[in-house]
């Protein structure tokens, strides 16, 4: 059932690719670079965020005014921060781009089953990145301390309080006490910046098993994304809502559809159900890589076996080490010389880390010295098949 659904989604994803490849050369298909686009937007966010951080004041009295000062809004006019309006717009729209790119990346890699084999770690770190990115985005809307921010604080508090037993404690921990306390904005500022730094730690985890990750999109798409963000921030200036009132929180929410979707859901479900839903989604997301059969044998495709290094032939040239997509090959100091003439002077020896090998055989194609083999699919087998093919 799930498998059939996944097949259908894969078909749609690939036909979307085909359609886009008709417009662009395959090297420039933006859907092949969703990860790189996310990273690009994250970089833009960090740079513009540093700029905003220099001017932002995390206190109830000054937060709103400092944001108005950055953007040169009404009381300040030209006395505001130069280009502050543009930078704030960039920060806002790059955040939207970030979450779109992340979600595209998430769905694409889900539907094309790129969570298989040893890719569970990139998948799980990616889930963490997604959760953190959403959290940071919501925080950012609280920092402005306009009416929307106040409403968000109230809604978040209510949702957390709906968790049985620990809810109240969680709420106090997040907001520094019940209700809106003086600790709220400094804490939110830290929770905006701190996890943003943690994103880079998780990115390292995200990349650690990936050889040659496509960290940046092609230059065309870099320029296009930057241009789009600049253009949007100029055409639709990012603005605050009216200042948060000290009285009751407003009852209407100006929605940013990319970050505040869960809060829209609060209109239809009770806070307790929202919490349940969020937990289910995240836990299921973490479970995705383990849902389908893992090994090639269980999947019904060829079971070639872990790639094996032929000690006698390995020259320590590192070609397989560079090409292995999963960083499954490491070079170690050679314990003894090889047997063939090319291998006698070797300094290093390739070792396959079995837990990471997915039996794709890319190292076999990389090796010019016949020093790697898939035990279930040897070079002899291939040559036998070629001979058969030539005979028929």
First-residue to last-residue Cα distance in the chain = 41
Residues ≥6 apart with Cβ < 8 Å to 341: none
120 forms part of the interface with another protein (CB under 8 A): no
CA distance 350 to 356: 14
Window of 27-35, 98-106, 125-133, 252-260 that interacts with another protein by CB under 8 A: 27-35
**Between 10 and 342, CB nearer to another protein:** 10
Q: How far is the CB of 23 from another protein (least distance, A)?
A: 14
Size of the site for another protein (CB under 8 A): 45
CB of 142 to another protein, least distance (A): 39
Report in angstroms how near the CB of residue 127 gets to another protein at its nearest.
Answer: 20
Give yes or no for residue 341 binding another protein (CB under 8 A): no
Contact assessment for residue 29 and residue 104, using Cβ atoms and an 8 Å cutoff: no
Q: Shortest gap between Cβ of 351 and another protein (angstroms)?
A: 19
In the numeric block, which tokens belong to residue 58? Answer: 């995390």
Residues numbered 231-290 forming contacts with another protein, rule: CB under 8 A: none
Work out how close the CB of 210 gets to another protein at its nearest, in angstroms, rounded to a whole number: 7
Residue 359 binds to another protein (criterion: CB under 8 A): yes
Counting contacts by CB under 8 A, is residue 383 touching another protein? yes
Whole-angstrom Cα distance, residue 147 to residue 320? 57
Helix (H, G, I), strand (E, B) or coil at 339: coil
β 329-333/308-309 pair status: unpaired
H helix runs in the chain, sequence order: 2-23, 34-55, 63-71, 84-111, 120-143, 147-161, 167-175, 184-207, 219-235, 261-265, 271-291, 296-299, 319-323, 362-366, 379-391
Contacting residue, 3, 8, 11, 347, with another protein by CB under 8 A = 11
Q: Which of 5, 26, 228, 279 binds another protein (CB under 8 A)?
A: 26
Closest C-alpha among 314, 151, 10, 342 to residue 159: 151
Closer to another protein by Cβ: residue 165 or 390 = 390
Residue corresponding to tokens 């730690």 = 201
> Measured from the CB atom, is 117 or 145 closer to another protein?
117
SS3 331: strand
Considering only the stretches 42-50, 172-180, 184-192, 206-214, report the one whose residues sit in contact with another protein under the rule CB under 8 A: 206-214
- Count of beta carbons in the 10 Å neighbourhood of residue 106: 19
Residue 337 in contact with another protein, rule: CB under 8 A: no
Report if residue 29 touches another protein, rule: CB under 8 A: yes
Report the nearest approach of another protein to the CB of residue 112 (Å): 7
Q: Is 211 in the site for another protein (CB under 8 A)?
A: yes
The distance of closest approach from Cβ of residue 284 to another protein in the complex, given in angstroms and rounded to an integer, is: 23
Q: Which two tokens stand for residue 82?
A: 């130069």
Task: For residues 255 and 146, give the distance between their C-alpha atoms in angstroms, rounded to a whole number.
Answer: 13
Which neighbouring-strand residues pair with 374?
377
Among 5, 14, 231, 234, interactor with another protein by CB under 8 A: 14
Which of residues 167 and 218 has its CB atom nearest to another protein in the complex? 218
313 scored as a contact of another protein (CB under 8 A): no
304 binds another protein (CB under 8 A): yes
Task: Tell me if 312 contacts another protein by CB under 8 A.
Answer: no
Cα 218 to Cα 209: distance, rounded to the nearest angstrom = 22
Is residue 45 a contact partner of residue 94, using CB atoms and an 8 Å limit? yes
- CB atoms under 10 Å from CB of 264, counted, come to 12
Interface residues toward another protein, by CB under 8 A? 10-11, 14-15, 17-18, 21, 26-27, 29, 32, 112, 114, 210-212, 301-302, 304, 323, 325-326, 358-362, 364-367, 374, 377, 379-380, 382-383, 385-392
């Amino acid at each position: 059932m799930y498998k059939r659904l996944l097949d259908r989604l894969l078909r749609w994803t690939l036909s979307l690719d085909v359609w886009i490849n008709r417009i662009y050369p395959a090297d420039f298909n933006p859907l092949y670079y969703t990860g790189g686009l996310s990273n690009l937007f994250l970089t833009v966010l960090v740079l513009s965020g540093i700029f905003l951080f220099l001017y932002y004041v995390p206190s109830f009295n000054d937060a709103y005014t400092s944001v108005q000062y950055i953007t040169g809004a009404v009381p300040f006019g030209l006395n505001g921060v130069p280009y502050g309006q543009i930078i704030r717009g960039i920060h806002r729209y790059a955040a939207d781009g970030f979450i779109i790119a992340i979600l595209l990346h998430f769905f694409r890699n889900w539907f094309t089953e790129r969570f298989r084999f040893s890719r569970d770690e990139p998948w799980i770190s990616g889930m963490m990145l997604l959760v953190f990115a959403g959290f940071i985005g919501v925080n950012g809307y609280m920092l402005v301390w306009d009416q929307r921010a106040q409403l968000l604080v109230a809604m978040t508090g209510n949702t957390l309080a709906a968790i049985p037993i620990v809810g109240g404690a969680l709420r106090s921990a997040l907001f520094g006490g019940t209700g809106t306390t003086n600790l709220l904005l400094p804490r939110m500022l830290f929770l905006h910046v701190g996890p943003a730094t943690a994103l880079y730690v998780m990115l390292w985890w995200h990349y650690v098993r990936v050889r040659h990750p496509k960290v940046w999109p092609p230059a065309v798409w870099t320029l296009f994304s930057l241009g789009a963000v600049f253009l949007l921030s100029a055409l639709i200036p990012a603005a605050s809502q009216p200042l948060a009132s000290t009285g009751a929180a407003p009852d209407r929410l100006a929605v940013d559809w990319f970050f505040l979707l869960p809060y829209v859901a609060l209109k239809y479900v009770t806070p307790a159900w929202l919490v349940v839903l969020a937990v289910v989604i995240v836990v299921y997301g973490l479970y995705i890589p383990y849902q389908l059969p893992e090994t090639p044998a269980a999947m019904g495709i060829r079971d070639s076996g872990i790639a094996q290094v032929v000690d006698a032939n390995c020259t320590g040239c590192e070609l397989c080490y560079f090409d292995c997509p999963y960083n499954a090959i490491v070079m170690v100091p050679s314990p003894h010389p090889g047997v063939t003439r090319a291998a006698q002077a070797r300094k290093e020896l390739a070792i396959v880390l079995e837990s990471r090998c997915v039996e794709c055989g890319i190292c076999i194609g990389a090796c010019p010295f016949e020093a790697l083999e898939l035990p279930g699919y040897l070079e002899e087998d291939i040559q036998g098949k070629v001979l058969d093919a030539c005979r028929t």
